[in-house]
Each structure stands twice: as structure tokens, then as C-alpha cells.
């Protein structure tokens, strides 16, 4: 009675993000039954973020057919770790037929407040090209990581040759 216990999701694995309810039911040998009040706790969701400022290029003034590196710095802004995060880079918007640059990259673990950078090499074209980065695809189904905010997983930056 009167005791408080603190547990983390790492100590009791298997809980998804969100609100969970619990109570205790006791039955003695005489058949007496008591049920405690129902309590609840919330498991916080991770949040993965990419924005325009987190997309950079190895050269700010490449020439046609130059090979440059695209860097995407992915942040974890939620209150719990995110695992196995897929990152994709596209030449053009994937939603309208953009072509993926390189292959999928996987970030095995991002703890709250951490960031990691992935990169891909791209041969530049003449004109202005939008480089799009998507984290935790597919966006249409909110990916595989349940997040606090599913709307900050796509960003783009233009490069002009």
C-alpha cells in the first residue's frame, strides 16, 4: 500500500505506443473476489523528423554529369527510441513518379534527441531538380514506425545546374 513503482518500456517490452489500462483481480480460497481500481499509463511514441534544412549536397555548384553526394540528416524528436528506420532519397517526388537514388538505407536505432546522417551519390542533370527524402515509408500508410507525428517524414530541396 502506498508504494510507487517506475518502469520503462525497456524493462517491460512489448507495449505499443499509446494508453494502456490495467487492474488487479484477487481471488482467495474461500471464493472472495476483489478488483482494484483501473489505472492507466501512456507509452510515448517516437518521432522521426526530416526537413529541408537537413538535406545538403557535397557541392553547391556542380556541373552537368558531376557526381555529388546527397546528405540527409534524420532526427529523433520524440520521447522514446525509434528502431529500424528506412530512409529513401528520390530525384523528384516519389508521389508523382520520382526515381529513387541508390537504395533504401536503414537506421537501426535513434534514441530521443539523436540524429544520424545517410548519404547517396547522384549524377546531376541540367536544370532544377527537387531532391526528396522520405523517412519511414510508405507515407500513405504511415510507415512501419508508430510515431507521435506522421506528417514530418518528407522533405525536399532543389538543386539547380
* C-beta separation of 128 from 64 below 8 A: no
SS3 118: strand
Residues 53-78: tens digit of each pLDDT:
999 999 988 999 999 999 999 999 98
Q: What is each CA distance from 15 to 10, 11, 147, 149, in whole angstroms? A: 9, 10, 14, 19
**Predicted structure pTM score:** 0.81
pLDDT recorded at residue 22: 87
Which residues contact residue 127 at a Cβ distance below 8 angstroms, ignoring those fewer than 6 apart?
Answer: 160, 161
Amino acid at each position: 500500500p502506498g508504494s510507487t513503482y517506475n518502469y520503462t518500456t525497456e524493462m517491460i517490452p512489448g507495449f505499443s505506443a499509446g494508453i494502456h489500462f490495467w487492474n488487479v483481480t484477487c481471488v482467495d480460497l474461500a471464493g472472495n473476489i476483489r478488483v482494484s481500481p483501473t489505472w492507466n499509463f501512456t507509452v510515448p511514441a517516437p518521432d522521426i523528423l526530416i526537413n529541408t534544412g537537413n538535406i545538403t549536397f557535397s557541392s553547391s555548384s556542380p556541373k552537368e554529369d558531376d557526381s555529388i553526394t546527397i546528405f540527409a540528416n534524420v532526427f529523433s524528436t520524440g520521447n522514446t527510441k525509434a528502431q529500424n528506420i528506412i530512409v529513401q532519397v528520390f530525384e523528384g517526388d516519389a508521389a508523382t513518379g520520382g526515381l529513387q537514388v541508390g537504395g533504401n538505407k536503414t537506421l537501426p536505432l535513434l534514441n530521443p534527441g539523436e540524429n544520424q546522417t545517410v548519404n547517396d551519390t547522384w549524377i546531376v542533370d541540367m536544370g532544377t531538380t527537387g531532391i526528396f527524402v522520405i523517412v519511414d515509408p510508405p507515407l500513405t500508410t504511415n510507415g512501419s514506425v508508430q510515431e507521435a507525428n506522421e506528417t514530418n517524414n518528407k522533405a525536399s530541396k532543389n538543386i539547380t545546374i
